[in-house]
Amino acid sequence: MTTLVHNTFQLERDYPVPPATVFRHFADETLKQKWFGTDEGWTSLGHGMDFRVGGVEYDEGRWANGTTSRFESRYLEIVDDLRLVYVYGMVVDDVRLSDSLASIELTPTDAGTRLTLTEQGVYYDGHEDPALREQGTGWILDNLGRALTTA
């Protein structure tokens, strides 16, 4: 029996830099590789990024335990320094876990930028817990925060 689980979550982070700086960390491949999905025990097997509407991005690697993971995305909307909208899928050991629609909004604040990420996902056949995806996405946004304050 196959099952689908749908989930929506929203995360906010405040960063002490202007929206243009946050946006650049999404748009510049070298900057993005410093914070997106990097972790001890992760070996990159390939990465590609075509940052334009209709462009695709992928990041594939292997964990120390041998598990492989692949992030595949396509950009639907890009407004410099303001927002990104993209669809992405996650594949682990050749099993498709999920597909999602994600949006990122950058709002100027007195202290810098508020980033609001909203994700609507469909998860296949019990392969992933949506709560773990939300937690992992929060971890990635925290990595971005560290990259922004140490740059």
Where along the chain do its domains lie?
4-150
Mean per-residue pLDDT, 23-44: 87
User: Which of 72-86, 109-123, 137-151 comes out lowest in average pLDDT?
Assistant: 137-151
Q: 88-117, pLDDT tens digit by residue?
A: 999 999 999 999 999 999 999 999 999 999
Alpha carbon distance 92, 2 (integer Å) = 18
Domain 4-150, CATH 1.25.40.10 — does that match?
A: no
Measured at the alpha carbon of residue 20, what is the angle toward residues 24 and 84, in degrees to the nearest 5? 65
Q: Which two tokens stand for residue 121?
A: 């996902």
**Contact in structure between 7 and 128 (CB atoms under 8 Å):** no
pLDDT over 70 at 38, yes or no: no
Q: Tell me, what's the pLDDT at 131?
A: 93
Alpha carbon distance 60, 81 (integer Å) = 27
Mean per-residue pLDDT, 53-73: 94
Cβ density class 101-140: b for 16+ within 10 Å, e for less: ebbbbbeeeeebbbbebebebebbeebbebeebbeebeeb
Half-sphere exposure of 32 (CA within 13 A, CB side): 14
Alpha carbon distance 20, 80 (integer Å) = 8
Cβ density class 34-48: b for 16+ within 10 Å, e for less: ebbbeeeeeeeeebe
Burial of 77: CB neighbours in 10 Å, binned 0-12, 13-18, 19+: exposed
